[in-house]
Structure 1
Amino acid sequence: MPSAVRRKTRAYDPNRVRNALAAQAETVRTAAHRCTPEQLARPTALPGWDVHHLLVHVAGQIDAVPRLLAEPAPTAARAQTDLTTWALRTGGYAELLDARTREDAARAAGEAGAAAAIDAAAEELEPVLEMAVREDVLLPHRFGAMRALDFAVTRLVELVVHTDDLTRALGTAVSLDRYALATTVRVLADALAAKAPGGSVEVRVPPFAVVQCVEGPRHVRGTPPNVVETDPLTWLRLAAGRLEWADALETHAVTASGPRADLGSHLPVLS
């Protein structure tokens, strides 16, 4: 039986998380105001969602920060949910989030629209940003008490993944904050390492992350026998289920060498 691979808990800088969250929310807000009616009706990578649905969903992800901060603090003495648990379990609520988004999108269509929903969410976020990245504040998450800082990091992941969805739907680049992108890559790489524990495959996403995963002989020195390498955008699309492993290989968006370097059965991680 292979020995367990010890993993250090990755640390995220509160100030950089705060700044990246504010910057990415503002970027999406600006993009929403620039959308034409024709663009709002364009389909996205999410089944049944057009750009209007996507933007309303993003508004909800931003608004979750002030909403949870306003709720009574959990009774737990310490955090019960970490970033990896969130990443690996959040897909189980996809149907609930889909239904909620459709309801919110219908309501926003009858009011001032998706841009107004993001305006309201961003304005509620701004005054609580300092509290939102506290490491000593616990929030009442559905998976158990969660540090405010960790929850803020999950919002970065949501915003980065959906900003990329928006870019592809609009056919126009919507910029990604560098720290937000780096954080998303690392959270999803760590989730893969937890989902497929082991040390036989080295996954490289330069310049942001390197993890070892997949059960088998552990590599300790020299050139790894099993290596997967790709760029940050390809990785987040693979990990979020926006790109199939086979398609990424076929287009050379990812390289995989070695007998164990097939991650197809372990992806996506947000599922």
Structure 2
Amino acid sequence: MLTKLMKYDIRSTWRDFAGIYMAILLGVIIVPLLINNFDIPIAGTLAMLIITSIIIGTIVVTVINLFHIFLKNVFSKQGYLTMTLPVSSGQLVFSKLLVSTMWIVLTGIVSVIGLFIFAFVMNPAANIKLTEIISEIHAVLNGQGYLSAALIILMTTASVVKEIAKLFLACSIGHLKQLSRFRVPVGIAAYFACSWLETLLIQGIGKAVSYLPQSSELVRQINAVADTGQLQDFVGIFNGVLFTGILFALFTAFVYSAGTVWILNHKLDLD
């Protein structure tokens, strides 16, 4: 049944995201061609403004679609049909979490590809220099860059899952019956409150770790790496930080999702 839920969520949103992707790819091809043909003096500044606009527009439209996936399908009139399906609230939240993450990851990939296309059309020579820089970094890292790149991708994906789960929880809190008159401000406040609690939790963990006997040795090793300037040793520490961040993001995503499921099971208030 989880697969059917995901198929339904994908079918209900793919047109919106397909439009986003087409707009990005057409924009990064057509706009730089126009700029180059008209020989505009401030072409570089204009190109940066366009890239910024593309990024901001993509973020805004993506967030709106995430609301469509969860808010309208659960808390609007459509929610009456959704909640009568023979599935658990956990499966419902998990399905929308996976589909939302998939769309954000795809949007990120298309955006990165679009930026490379934009840079290539604006100045093909810049891409050659970028390739040379990447090759030099790879040679310095001596193959350790692959693990770092994989961990960065996993960290980014886990952070996306966490933020989506937080957004779902904030929407659910905003739809509590007791807070129905202030849904929008309560939802926004709930989102930022969760972010603040995350910060406090990270600070608390950091303080607790500082009291461990091994913490002083770890600090000494980090300082030694900083003094010697050995990039490969620094990458090892960096990978450890990334791995810890992945675990933290997955843990908080689980907590947020569990809170959403509890609200759906005990405090659901449909429009």
Work out which of the two has the higher radius of gyration on C-alpha atoms and give 1 or 2.
2
Q: Which has the higher contact order (CA 8 A, sep 6+)?
A: 2
TM-score range with shorter-chain normalisation?
A: under 0.3
TM-score by length of 1: 0.26
Would you tell me which structure has more helix in proportion to its own residues?
2
Would you tell me which structure has more strand in proportion to its own residues?
1
